[in-house]
Amino acid sequence: MTPVNLVSKTLTHHGKRAKIDYKREKDFEENGHNVKWDDSKYNNAVVGDYFAFVHNIQDRAEIYRIERISLAETRPNYWDLPNHQRRNVLYFSSMIKEIPWHELKNLLGYNETYYLQGTTRSKKNILIQE
């Protein structure tokens, strides 16, 4: 899961970069390409896992399945945050579904006040109805 904030005008440096990268990936998707994102700092994603772009403020989550993982050396040049350079690249299926973020939090066992910050692996695996 990774947070994306398309609404707020006051974003951290990482938040601004995530917004730019997210919009770029959505443009790629509209042109028939698979969306990609970098793994968490632990590189613990697995092919077949689900991944969510979480819009905390807008209460929605876009669910994808990880179809392929490439080594960090294959990262696009525009992904240039220094502390992310060792993160693997995750390639996704087309979007499986969009659900309210509060529903996904409930399915995952998170407190209703949980606010996602940074790319992270969920503490619980769930099966998404496709």
pLDDT tens digits along 13-40: 888 888 999 999 999 999 999 999 999 9
Nearest one of 54, 25, 19, 50 to 37, comparing CA atoms: 25
Query: What is the per-residue pLDDT for 122?
Result: 83
Name the residue ranges covered by the structural domains of the chain. 2-108
Task: Quickly state the pLDDT bin for 121 (edges 50, 70, 90).
Answer: confident
Whether the per-residue pLDDT at 118 is higher than 70: the answer is yes
pTM value?
Answer: 0.90
Do residues 95 and 54 make contact, with C-beta atoms less than 8 angstroms apart? Answer: no
Q: What does residue 29 show for φ and ψ, rounded to 5 degrees?
A: -60, -45
Helix (H) or strand (E) holding 107: helix 101-108
Query: What is the per-residue pLDDT for 127?
Result: 66
Whether the per-residue pLDDT at 116 is higher than 80: the answer is yes
Rounded to whole angstroms, how far apart are CA atoms 117 and 110?
A: 13
pLDDT tens-digit series, residues 64-112: 999 999 999 999 999 989 999 999 999 999 999 999 999 999 999 999 9
Task: Quickly state the pLDDT bin for 46 (edges 50, 70, 90).
Answer: very high
Higher pLDDT, 117 or 36: 36
